[in-house]
A and B are shown apart, each in its own frame.
Chain A
Amino acid sequence: MAQTSGLIGRDTVVKGNLSGSGDVVVRGRVEGTVSLRDQLTIEPEGKVYADVEIENLDVHGEMSGDIRAGDKVVIAATAKVVGDIKAPRVVIQDGARFKGSIEMEVKLPEDI
């Protein structure tokens, strides 16, 4: 696990482009675009209104925007997410609120 290289605290608002590597944890608010190489964690108080390009995304708070992940997106039980997701793995936990589309690779049998 990469170390937490960024923590956006509860009363912090970031407006603009957030990019870099390492893990970022959001407890405050981010608006704009996010482009990170590793993991973004949105804690339950966190709010992200941005299109996100990420390796792993773990949402426990609020998010509105499109998501492109290289590995996995987890929408946890306390999360509220609106947006389109494109990732190889997506997990929606019981209790999560989500509205949007999800595109994973789906292998179907040939005779469908």
Chain B
Amino acid sequence: MATLDGSTIIGESILINGSLNGDEDLTVRGRVEGTLTLTKTLVVEQSGIVKAEVQVRNCVIAGVVVGNVTATESVEITKEGRMVGDIGAPRVIIVDGASFRGRIDMGEVDVGRGERIGRPIARPAPRPALRAPAAAKGGKKEEAKGKAEEKAAPGKPPAPPPAVGMGAVKRKVVVRRK
């Protein structure tokens, strides 16, 4: 899918030192140093060396890249590719034989934490009921689930006023007819 007109190729003996910006695909067979920003695809061929901060849509590395690469779509390091730097892209492909050293950030990766060895494995405390004060006095933790009602704990004197919403408080509404 090469665009013949206006696709840029940097030949093997060319060295560009500075900032390069463009709205087209770019193939590097020579050397680019500095910064490289494209809205399309960067291909670093086997003879290519890019020593730059790179921001592109897609990046295919078959040569050498030293610097950080940020791609809005994908980064691929082929078998001959070598890269040192950080990659930020939603898709990253590293083929067997490639060399890479750096960080890779694909955005959020949702992985459960689990417990690492060394931390005491604690039983989760039973969920306290919605306020079962009187009952708790005895020191016994009740299985709260489902036992929300009637904690009318037997005996024990100064039962603190049951918390609101316990359902234990019943109000009588009396309508007196005149």
Contacts and interface: CB of A to CB of B under 8 A. Distances in A.
Contact of A29 (B49, B103, B114, B121): B114
Interface stretch (B87-95, B122-130, B135-143): B87-95
B110 A80 contact: yes
Interface string A66-105: 0000001000000011100000011111111111111111
B117 A17 contact: yes
Contacts of A9: none
Interface residues on A, range: 35 or more
Nearest to A31: B114
Contact of A49 (B92, B102, B103, B112): B112
B160 to A, nearest CB: 42
B100 A107 contact: no
A78 B99 CA distance: 22
Contact of A31 (B92, B100, B116): B116
Given A97-B106, A102-B102, A109-B64, A81 B111 contact: yes
A82 B108 CA distance: 10
Contacts of B111: 62-64, 80-82
A95 to B, nearest CB: 8
Interface of B: 49, 51, 64, 66, 82-84, 91-107, 109-117, 121
Contacts of B51: 112
A106 interface: yes
A6 interface: no
A32 interface: yes
Contacts of A36: none
Interface of A: 15-17, 29, 31-33, 47, 49-50, 62-64, 72, 80-82, 89-109, 112
Contact of A89 (B92, B97, B103): B97
Nearest to B115: A31
B109 A91 contact: no
11 contacts: A31-B115, A32-B116, A33-B117, A50-B117, A80-B110, A91-B96, A98-B109, A106-B99, A106-B101, A108-B66, A109-B64
B94 A47 contact: no
B99 A101 contact: no
Given A94-B93, A97-B106, A104-B99, A15 B49 contact: no
A107 B63 CA distance: 11
B103 A101 contact: yes
Contacts of B121: 15
A106 B114 contact: no
